[in-house]
């Protein structure tokens, strides 16, 4: 589901969502688990496709290059 090239450091804008800003549940594409409300996390917005922005656990975002989930 996740297009790998979309998430290169040069290809995305990232920012940290503070716990108080996290008011919804998101699905993290790194681990396919939910990010519950109230948990600080990353949001990554591809320059090429802002509509495809995704919310990631901070650990999943930082580890996305080394940890390659297989389906």
For position 6 contacting Zn ion by CB under 5 A, the verdict is no
Taking the C-alpha atoms of residue 52 and residue 60, their distance in angstroms, rounded to an integer, is 17
Considering only residues 28, 42, 43, 44, which one is a binding residue for Zn ion as defined by CB under 5 A? 28
Residue 40 and residue 48: Cα distance in Å, rounded? Answer: 25
Ramachandran class of 32: left when φ > 0, alpha when ψ lies in -120 to 50, beta otherwise = left
- Please tell me whether residue 42 binds Zn ion under the rule CB under 5 A: no
**Of positions 7, 12, 26, 30, contacts Zn ion by CB under 5 A:** 30
Of 1-9, 17-25, 27-35, 63-71, the segment contacting Zn ion by CB under 5 A is 27-35
């Amino acid at each position: 589901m996740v297009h790998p090239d979309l998430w290169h450091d040069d290809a995305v804008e990232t920012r940290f969502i503070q716990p108080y800003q996290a008011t919804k549940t998101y699905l993290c594409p790194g681990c396919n688990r939910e990010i519950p409300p109230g948990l600080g996390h990353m949001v990554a917005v591809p320059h090429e496709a802002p509509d495809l922005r995704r919310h990631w656990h901070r650990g999943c975002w930082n580890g996305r290059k080394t940890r390659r989930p297989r389906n």
